[in-house]
């Protein structure tokens, strides 16, 4: 039995709604999935309803934007109560500040002679967290750039003239919010964000429950190393495709292969 514990929906920057992701997972023969939208839990209920009707298992998930050592770090939360007030309050702050930031980026673009319609950009993120991918799409569709990457290179990438930082948590806060909502906190794709094993150990000491040992950006060798570290520190393992549905760029759902055993252990620890 295979599973996928890292999938994005239209409630963040994925292109498919939760219902469609559930259908796809069933088509691929997966036993369970988790929708882990960026800073948003709103897709969870729709996913759970669709999955229940179709006999697919789901575990609630979220991917929180954090900063650690001045770099982006993503923290995954599994098994959180989607109605937890403290967590929802924090997610609302994420959403509000993302909206303000989106408006500021559109303003900056305007001062550079690039005129995007705010409503049009908002419509692209109708379900959830407004982000640079939505603005990149609008730039592309309005002919300001020739392709998606160019939007980041010329305008909204970290070194671009219209870039604005977004609100991020310290990993310690992320762990706290996830735990107090009854969930378990995992370091997402550790090799993306961390320089070396020392940084990883420093982060683990904050109080994480697990590591995402398998992700398309990680080699087989890295997976083995991460699995060994997880074992040494009595941490859980998770993994998934980080599927967004981006044409031509994404690894499909269900890749790399994740054993059901990962979820079994997570559920055991959740109690």
Q: Considering the rule CB under 5 A, would residue 74 count as an interface residue with Fe ion?
A: yes
Residue nearest to ligand AMP (CB): 131
First-to-last C-alpha distance (Å) of the chain: 22
Backbone angles phi and psi of 14, in degrees to 5:
-80, 160
Q: Which is nearer to ligand AMP, 79 or 102 (CB)?
A: 102
Contact map string, positions 131 to 150, toward ligand AMP, x by CB under 6 A? xxx---------------x-
Q: Which of 124, 166, 168, 215 binds ligand AMP (CB under 6 A)?
A: 166
Instruction: Check if the beta carbon of residue 43 is closer than 8 Å to that of residue 11.
Output: yes
Binding of Fe ion by 242 (CB under 5 A): yes
Question: Per-residue x/- mask for ligand AMP, residues 13 to 32, rule CB under 6 A?
Answer: x-------------------
Of the candidates 62, 5, 10, the one whose C-alpha atom is nearest the C-alpha of residue 39 is 62
CA dist 76 → 19, 34, 107, 119 (Å): 21, 10, 32, 31
| SS3 state of residue 261 | helix
In whole angstroms, how close is the CB of 213 to ligand AMP at the nearest point? 21
Beta bridge partners of 239: 214
Rounded to 5°, the CA angle 134-137-141 comes to 140
Choose between 74 and 168: whose C-beta lies nearer to Fe ion: 74
116 with 142: CB under 8 angstroms? yes
Q: In what order do the strands lie in the sheet with 71-78?
A: 61-68, 71-78, 184-187, 210-214, 236-239
Query: Binding residue for ligand AMP (CB under 6 A) from 68, 78, 94, 152?
Result: 152
Of ligand AMP, Fe ion, Zn ion, none, which one sits near residue 74, judging by CB under 5 to 8 A according to partner kind? Fe ion
Choose among Zn ion, ligand AMP, Fe ion, none what residue 152 binds, the Cβ cut-off being 5 to 8 Å by kind: ligand AMP
Site residues, Fe ion (CB under 5 A): 63, 74, 188, 242
Query: Which residues of the chain form contacts with ligand AMP (CB under 6 A)?
Result: 13, 131-133, 149, 152, 157, 166
Residue numbers at the binding site for Zn ion (CB under 5 A): 8, 13
């Amino acid at each position: 039995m295979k599973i996928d514990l890292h999938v994005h929906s239209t409630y963040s920057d994925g292109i498919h709604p939760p219902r469609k992701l559930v259908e796809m997972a069933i088509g691929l023969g997966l036993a369970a999935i988790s929708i882990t939208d960026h800073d948003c839990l709103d897709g969870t209920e729709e996913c759970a309803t669709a999955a229940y009707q179709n006999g697919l298992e789901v575990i609630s998930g979220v991917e929180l934007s954090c900063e650690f050592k001045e770099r982006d770090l993503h923290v995954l939360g599994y098994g959180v109560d989607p109605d937890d007030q403290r967590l929802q309050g924090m997610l609302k702050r994420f959403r509000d500040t993302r909206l303000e930031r989106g408006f500021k980026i559109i303003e900056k673009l305007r001062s550079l002679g690039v005129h995007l319609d705010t409503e049009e950009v908002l419509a692209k993120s109708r379900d959830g967290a407004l982000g640079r991918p939505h603005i990149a799409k609008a730039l592309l569709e309005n002919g300001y750039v020739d392709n998606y990457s160019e939007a980041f290179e010329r305008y909204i990438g970290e070194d671009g003239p219209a870039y604005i930082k977004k609100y991020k948590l310290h990993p310690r806060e992320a762990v706290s919010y996830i735990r107090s909502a009854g969930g378990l906190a995992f370091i997402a794709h550790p090799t993306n964000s961390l320089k070396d094993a020392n940084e990883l150990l420093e982060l683990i000491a904050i109080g994480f429950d697990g590591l995402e040992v398998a992700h398309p950006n990680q080699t087989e060798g890295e997976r083995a190393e991460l699995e060994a570290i997880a074992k040494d520190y009595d941490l859980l393992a998770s993994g998934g495709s980080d599927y967004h549905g981006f044409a031509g760029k994404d690894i499909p759902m269900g890749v790399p292969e994740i054993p059901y055993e990962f979820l079994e252990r997570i559920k055991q620890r959740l109690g």
